[in-house]
Amino acid sequence: MKNEGEASEQPDNTAFTQQQLPAWQPILSAGIVIPGFLIIGLAFLGIGIGLFLTSQTIQVLEMDYTGVEKDSPCFQCTIQSVQNCTCEVTFSLSALFTGPVFFYYGLSNYFQNFRKYGVSKDYYQLTGDTQYFKSPRDVCFPYSHDSKNNPIVPCGAIANSMFNDTFELYQIINGTKKKVPLDGKGISWWTDFNIKYRNPSSVNGSFASAFDGTVKPINWPKAAYELDLTDPNNNGFLNQDFLVWMRRAALPQFRKLYRRITEGDYAGGLPAGNYSLTVHYNYPVLSFDGRKKLVFSNVSWMGGKNDFLGIAYLVVGSLCVVMSVVMLIVYAKFKFSDDDDA
Amino acid sequence: MLRRRLNRLCGGDEERVDSRTIYVGHRPCPDTEAFIPSKFCDNRIVSSKYTVWNFLPKNLFEQFRRIANFYFLIIFLVQVIVDTPTSPVTSGLPLFFVITVTAIKQGYEDWLRHKADKEVNKYPVTVLEDGRSVKKESEKIKVGDVVEVVEDETFPCDLILLQSSREDGTCFVTTASLDGESNHKTHYTVPDIEKDLQTLTSAIECEQPQPDLYKFVGRMHIYKLEQEPVVRSLGPENLLLKGATLKNTKKIYGVSVYTGMETKMALNYQGKSQKRSAVEKSINAFLLVYLSILISKAVVCTTLKYVWQSKEGQDEPWYNQKTQKEKDTNMYLKMFTDFLSFMVLFNFIIPVSMYVTVEMQKFLGSFFITWDKDFFDPEIQEGALVNTSDLNEELGQVEYVFTDKTGTLTQNNMEFIECCIDGFQYRYRDTQSEVDGFTVTDGPVNKLQQKAGWEKEELFLRALCLCHTVQVKEAGSEVLVDQVDGIDGLLGFIASSPDEIALVKGAMKYGFTFLGLESKSMKIKNRQNDIEEYKLLHVLNFDPVRRRMSVIVQTKSGETLLFCKGADSSIFPRVRPEEVDRIRMHVERNATEGYRTLCVAYKQLSAEEYAMADTGLREARLALQDREEKLMAMYNQVEMGMSLIGATAVEDRLQEEAAETMEALQGAGMKVWVLTGDKMETAKSTCYACRLFQRGTELLELTVRTLEDEKLNRDQKLHELLQEYHNKAVKDAPPVKAGVTRSWSTANQDYGFIIDGATLSLLMNPPHDADASQYKSLFLQICQNCTAVLCCRMAPLQKAQIVKMVKNSQGSPITLSIGDGANDVSMILEAHVGIGIKGKEGRQAVRNSDYAIPKLKHLKKLLLAHGHLYYVRIAHLVQYFFYKNLCFILPQFLYQFFCGYSQQPLYDAAYLTMYNICFTSMPILAYSLLEQHISIEILLHNAALYREIANNAMLRWRPFLYWTVLGIFQGLMFFFGVRFLFSNPALQDNGQVFGNWSYGTIVFTVLVFTVTLKLALDTRHWTWINHFVIWGSLAFYVFFSFFWGGIIWPFLKQQRLYFVFANVLSSVSAWLVIIILILLSLLPEILLVVLRKPRGHHSQQLSEDSSTDTNRWLRSLLSPTRI
């Protein structure tokens, strides 16, 4: 009978087939590791100190304006029956709040990261594709049609639940209120504003008629094309507040950028003094035991105030240094014992 | 009669008659009223598993029987049916990929088997049909066909010999590929068969097929014209077995009785069951652990979800209202679907791709065996062959090696080495230029003379020339030089045992040439080139109980001489004791050197003595009752009072480096068992030669011979011996310390165990069933404490039985069988790993083996280097896969606590799918193919290293726990590190905030880098491929993330990741958190690598104490007082 493996001739004699490829065999010897650890440790300590100090310089002012306590300024707005409620929150700064100051609103116990909530939007609508205005995607359900079965634009839970408290900030100088200009531009991601979201093109020169046959989200006081009537570039789906809202927060306690204070007299920051904040209180959070917050903060190269990173670097850095020292001691001992063996 | 016919017509299967009737040449016989062609299976050999038609369903069924595949199928179906967080594609695609790859691989392997089968089945044979010879394919042979077979062809099926070209109606056959015996066996034609087969009318009645090679019972009715039909009985001597080869006979005709899968050869094969490696078993165990982790995760999440929801306002906040349908759904159904959703969300913890990677690793890795040039044998121009790649790692776990002897340990090539005449040792040396080349190398020192007497020498050589049953091969037929026949020069010899040829050839070297046997007279040519003639009066055949043979010859001068040769133990008692002492020393020394020794004695018979012997022998031969016993008694009577002339030493040449290989295997902690069909003495001497038994080894023998006892019957004696040996080897042995289970190092006294087939079957099936398990356990315990075990006179199935017994013994050790002949096939199939040697005995073993190597010596590298590396590689691969998926999914699990248990995935679907397929698969694959934590040279040089990985050391629960803890630690790091960072999501210097996808992306980036760098830390052998793949994977991840987030993908319904990655990287904080989390996660690992004793070149001396491998550093760290 013939040989079966007649094809198998002399095997290739290459380094690869013989498993003889030249190879680097790293040996992490103490000579490399101990100084390595020391260098890494010192570098981390350096970074840590830098981070920590930077974080300390960042000024933050946080105010809960939910109005749970009876004596809090917005308590009266928490009563359901009150419509178009406004309340006034006052605060004072003892020193200059260095600019540019960023004005955030914060919500807690608010789950923007619910799975069903997260998928409840129609991306095609938001790119301005009017085809999808008439028949929103199923994922928007139950926020796709109103009770009269009219399609909702923009559909879905995220859009429907858009944060709609508005704020006006005044500096109180000698009893008179001086409005602090709030800059609503550049609060959303550049790509969201410029690429990802698109408005439908106007029909017959009218932006509103592009939305014909559709209704506004149930919770909205006004339709999407009326979000900012003063600035056509900030209207519709390209409204910055809308864009900020549409980027879902990662955790149930989050803050979102509301405005920046970059203009006029306040470009350099908020000077010391008394301030009053007028809140148009619309957004209900108490039904799910949520809280609303206002945050003023300035930022550094590392972003907002965050002590965690600095501390982490300091801890790990010192850990590395300590370990290198311990290793040095052990190594010395080990070496001696090794010599004894030999 | 009618009923019988009916039975045969309708389904003989249900009511199998215990005999079959075959009509030679399909010709009906006179006394059967009608010729009914009975149905027998055809002569096809099927070793393949699938056909084209059943491949798909059968293969799918086989594949989904694997736990993992079945699990993935369920997950996929759940995703299709239930609304789940991830799309069915994420698990369907990989599953489809796995199934397809496996199916292709198995299909290819089966195709190879089909090809091999075809080669056998399409082999051309000649069948006699209607007086003509018809060429047919082998598979077309039907029962009852008259088949013609010519010299050196193998029989295509089991045949009854009808006619032979030899005059005496015999033919010679070698069954080397069946039972390993390469000597020639004589088979006989049935008497009273007419010369013309065409007119032969006969029916054969014989038993139904059964696997015993040495049993056959049948009857042949021969009908002759106008004569009473003759009935002849048929025995095994009439049956030619498929697989045996015709020798020294030009042509035979035979009628086929058993065909195809019913041949004795096929019945000796065992059903092919898929072999699973121990690693796969470990994987399955780990899988179950992970499955329970998965289920508990899902249960925890589901429970907490409903606990959490029970709080007011949490279940359905106004901003996320439920649809009416959701509200109406039954609460328990909702719970169940939630549970399924969590299962789907976390299902990535059980890696689909691990199976793909393991399959690929095995498949590609096996090429290194095929490619290895060390396995290339220039003689046969072939290298190693890998039939199953599933078992690569098993090669690193072998505990028991079962080896065949003939053709595996030995070359089955006998050579006359030396002899001893009258106490003087003679060794043949080619180099010396003495006339006869016959020199004395040593002798009793106290004697002055240098050589034995001339007469003694001549007498001894004559004895060698006369006392045998060798035949001289006829001239003309020696075109094919067969090594087994031992053709040397002009003369070819045929004998029933290769030893005899070696002896005759030995005598030839010294000047006495056997010329042949012609009409009862033996001719020899003596040193003076004179022809001497002896009349052969009687041959007292060899038998294994007497263990000697004799001839009685008459010289020209009328003297009657008896020459006897046999094993020392059977000759010494029959000669004068004073002669014994002079020779015993030589015999014993030769035996320990591994030579096969025979003693030669002679006796001169007086006329009266001869007359008595002659009549006695004749009477005994003709006796109708107790013929055997009478003959035996007569033989014993004749072979008495002889005088010893000398002894011979014949070497069964070992395979190259056989002893070194065996030593290496034992050094690596493996136990070597020799399973052979050969005689005990022969096998024993081989064991000595291979250094399996050593001088100091005490042999515990459990054979037919030791069971002979006057007082006790065999069963009782067996029990007694077992107890005795057990006391010796097990109880008296120094207690084995826990942890050091390898007995080789513990026993002060080495024991070797010898058992033969008959005793083994007695042991396995004792008369009292109750004893069976006790005997078995005693036997196993004895064997486990012996350095080497020899099982001789084994039938092929018995070999498998032994393997099976050891395989199923306590601790289920990994077994390896190595053999070269068809008689080894059953044990090759039975063992965990079967290795075939591409020997001379056909291809059966190779075809049925898992790996085939050209020579025995290659086993060392195959096990010590390849096996070791494969094991380490795959063990690491498996652990790494579980680890990386644990720390992949753990953050996703933790995220559920922060998203209201809503099954929100932390990572984007693309990341979920690609993590195992693209980002982290290549580095581990490269690692698992290329890693050499210890270089091959050191592994080969230091067999003890093999013991470091024994008992599945890297896949036990401890290392698994270590990896799991590591995975959990890192998973926690990733998640909570980023969680604390996100306590203020304004991470950019422009004050903008990050969303949930940024969160996931940061975690994922840390994950991919950590997991890859962890592998980099583990890599001890960095080739350019490792560099390329590790750094390439990371670069690919970064590139992919930019790419994936850089484009608005038209086919996606949402652009979740659009620009997320780039945005993350624009934040310094994100960079810093990624760096510190990677470092922190790897810190324990780095410390461990540093503290672990570096395993450089100098470490090989230290590796003896493997237990201290962990490191001395760490211990000195933990207990500084030690120093």
- Backbone Cα Rg of chain A: 30
A4 touches B: beta carbon within 8 Å: yes
Residues of B within 8 A of A323 (CB-CB) are 1087
Residues of B within 8 A of A11 (CB-CB) are 370-373, 375-376, 383
What is residue B449's predicted lDDT score, i.e. its pLDDT?
A: 41
Residue B715, pLDDT > 60, answer yes
Residue B486, pLDDT > 50, answer no
Q: pLDDT tens digits for B204-222?
A: 888 888 777 777 888 888 8
Chain A, 149 to 168: residues with Cβ < 8 Å from chain B are 157, 160-161
Neighbour count for residue B381 (Cβ, 10 Å): 14
Residue B16, pLDDT > 60, answer no
What is residue A94's predicted lDDT score, i.e. its pLDDT?
A: 92
Instruction: Find the residue in B nearest to A43 (Cα).
Output: B1076
Helices (H), chain A: 30-57, 115-119, 123-126, 131-134, 157-160, 190-191, 240-246, 307-341
Lowest mean pLDDT across B299-313, B773-787, B915-929 = B773-787
Q: DSSP labels for B446-478?
A: T---SS--HHHHHHHHHHHHHSS--EEPPTTS-
Q: DSSP labels for B54-67?
A: THHHHHHHHHHTSH
Report percent pLDDT > 90 for chain B: 18
What is residue B928's predicted lDDT score, i.e. its pLDDT?
A: 93
Q: Determine if residue B793 is labeled as part of a ligand binding site.
A: yes
Q: Does B996 contact A118 at a Cβ distance shorter than 8 Å? A: yes
Written in H, E and C, the secondary structure of B324-360 is HHHHHCCHHHHHHHHHHHHHHHHHHHCCHHHHHHHHH
Entry pTM: 0.81
Pick from A21, A124, A303: CB nearest B1067? A303
Tokens of B381: 């121009």
Lowest mean pLDDT across A263-277, B40-54, B1073-1087 = B40-54
Pick from B375, B977, B1055: CB nearest A123? B1055
Mean pLDDT over B225-253 rounds to 81
Mean pLDDT over B413-419 rounds to 81
Tokens of A84: 């178009």
- Backbone Cα Rg of chain B: 37
Residue B432, pLDDT > 70, answer no
What is residue B11's predicted lDDT score, i.e. its pLDDT?
A: 39
Chain A, 25 to 54: residues with Cβ < 8 Å from chain B are 25-30, 33, 40, 44, 47, 51
Specify the amino acid at residue B979. R
Q: pLDDT tens digits for B593-651?
A: 767 788 888 888 888 888 888 888 888 777 666 777 788 888 888 888 888 888 888 88
Q: pLDDT tens digits for B127-162?
A: 888 777 888 888 888 888 888 888 888 888 888 888
Whether the CB-CB separation of B157 and B242 falls below 8 Å is answered with yes
Q: Determine if residue B297 is labeled as part of a ligand binding site.
A: no
Helix axes B757-764, B771-784, angle to 10 degrees: 130
CA atoms within 13 A on the CB side of B1060: 24
Mean pLDDT over B563-581 rounds to 83
Q: Does B322 contact A142 at a Cβ distance shorter than 8 Å? A: yes
Q: Does A306 contact B1069 at a Cβ distance shorter than 8 Å? A: yes
What is residue B906's predicted lDDT score, i.e. its pLDDT?
A: 93
Mean pLDDT over B295-324 rounds to 88
ipTM for the predicted complex comes to 0.94
Q: From the candidates B320, B323, B936, which should be mutated to test the interface with A, based on the most A CB atoms within 10 A? A: B320
What rounded mean pLDDT belongs to chain B? 80
Neighbour count for residue B126 (Cβ, 10 Å): 19
What is residue B279's predicted lDDT score, i.e. its pLDDT?
A: 80
Residue B1031, pLDDT > 90, answer yes
Q: Does A116 contact B930 at a Cβ distance shorter than 8 Å? A: no
**Three-state DSSP state, B785:** coil
Q: From the candidates A20, A47, A52, A114, which should be mutated to test the interface with B, based on the most B CB atoms within 10 A? A: A114
Q: Determine if residue B596 is labeled as part of a ligand binding site.
A: yes
Chain A, 252 to 281: residues with Cβ < 8 Å from chain B are 252-257, 260
Tokens of B634: 């007569």
Q: Does A21 contact B1025 at a Cβ distance shorter than 8 Å? A: yes
What's the gap in Å between the CA of A228 and the closest CA on chain B? 21
Mean pLDDT over B26-51 rounds to 72
What is residue B746's predicted lDDT score, i.e. its pLDDT?
A: 43
Instruction: Find the residue in B nearest to A124 (Cα).
Output: B1053
Query: Which position has the higher pLDDT, B280 or B711?
Result: B280
CA distance B408 to B401: 12
**Is B404 designated active site?**
yes
Residue A303: beta bridge partners? A300
Residue B53, pLDDT > 80, answer yes
The number of angstroms, rounded, from the C-alpha of B199 to the middle of its chain's C-alpha atoms is 48
Q: Determine if residue B263 is labeled as part of a ligand binding site.
A: no
Q: Does A191 contact B983 at a Cβ distance shorter than 8 Å? A: no
Residue B1121, pLDDT > 60, answer no
**Banded model confidence at residue B274, pLDDT cuts 50, 70, 90:** low
Specify the amino acid at residue B1051. F
Which member of B404, B485, B850, B908 is catalytic? B404
What is residue A175's predicted lDDT score, i.e. its pLDDT?
A: 86
pLDDT, tens digit only, all 342 positions of chain A: 333 344 445 677 888 888 888 888 887 777 788 888 899 999 999 999 999 999 999 999 999 999 888 888 888 888 877 778 899 999 999 999 987 899 999 999 999 999 989 989 898 889 988 888 888 888 888 888 888 889 998 999 999 999 989 999 999 998 899 999 998 888 999 999 999 999 998 888 888 888 888 999 998 988 989 988 888 889 999 999 999 999 999 999 999 999 999 888 888 889 999 999 999 998 989 888 899 999 999 888 888 898 999 999 999 999 999 988 988 888 787 765 544 443
What is residue B686's predicted lDDT score, i.e. its pLDDT?
A: 82
